[in-house]
Amino acid sequence: MIGSAVLLTGCGGGSVDVSVGPDAGPVYAPAFDIGALVNGQPVSGLDVQPGDTQTVNLYVGDSFELDSNAGVFWTVYVNGVAVPTVNNAVVVGNATITESVVSNSQFSGYVTSQGTLSAPVQLTLIATSVLDGSQTAQINFVVSN
């Protein structure tokens, strides 16, 4: 407190004017922010934050990566069924989705197929903040031929 008074005195004044509007409230940064790469290229317009759900189209042969700026827990579903997230290969029809949790801020994978897919495959990733379990976001990958 004394250091502040000395600093303000040295600046030539001891008052600071702050304007606060009637609707002003605390502004908090999101718990995390996720971006995505497909085949090494950023997905344009994808910026997922808690409370968001976004969908990205993938094709057989594509690789993908999700990067969070903070720690998250990754939960993975393929066509609505939960799957483990530790270097796992999931086979659905002719498609194989190989996924890997690189760290609690990065998730990657790729899609292969032994033939033509009879229907699109839904890969859903839910990111939950390590610091606040109520902060979640969802990224849906729709895989097709």
pLDDT string in tens for the chain (145-residue length)? 444 444 444 444 443 434 445 565 666 778 999 999 999 999 999 999 999 999 999 999 999 999 999 999 999 999 999 998 777 899 988 899 999 888 889 999 999 998 999 999 999 999 999 999 999 999 999 999 9
How high is the pLDDT of residue 17? Answer: 39
Per DSSP bridges, beta strands 72-78 and 121-129 are antiparallel
pTM: 0.78
How high is the pLDDT of residue 25? Answer: 63
C-alpha distances (whole Å) from 80 to each of 27, 42, 84, 103, 107 are 35, 26, 13, 24, 19
End-to-end CA separation in angstroms for the chain = 65
CA 56 – CA 65 distance, rounded (Å): 12
Q: Which residue has the tokens 């760290």?
A: 103
How high is the pLDDT of residue 22? Answer: 57
How high is the pLDDT of residue 9? Answer: 42
125, exposed or middle or buried, with CB in 10 Å at 0-12, 13-18, 19+?
buried
β-partners of residue 19 are none
CA 139 – CA 28 distance, rounded (Å): 22
> Each residue of 29-61: b (16+ CB within 10 Å) or e?
ebbbbbebebeeeebeebebebebebebebebe
How high is the pLDDT of residue 4? Answer: 42
Domains of the chain (ranges; CATH) run 32-42+50-144 (2.60.40)
Contact 92, 79 (CB under 8 A): yes
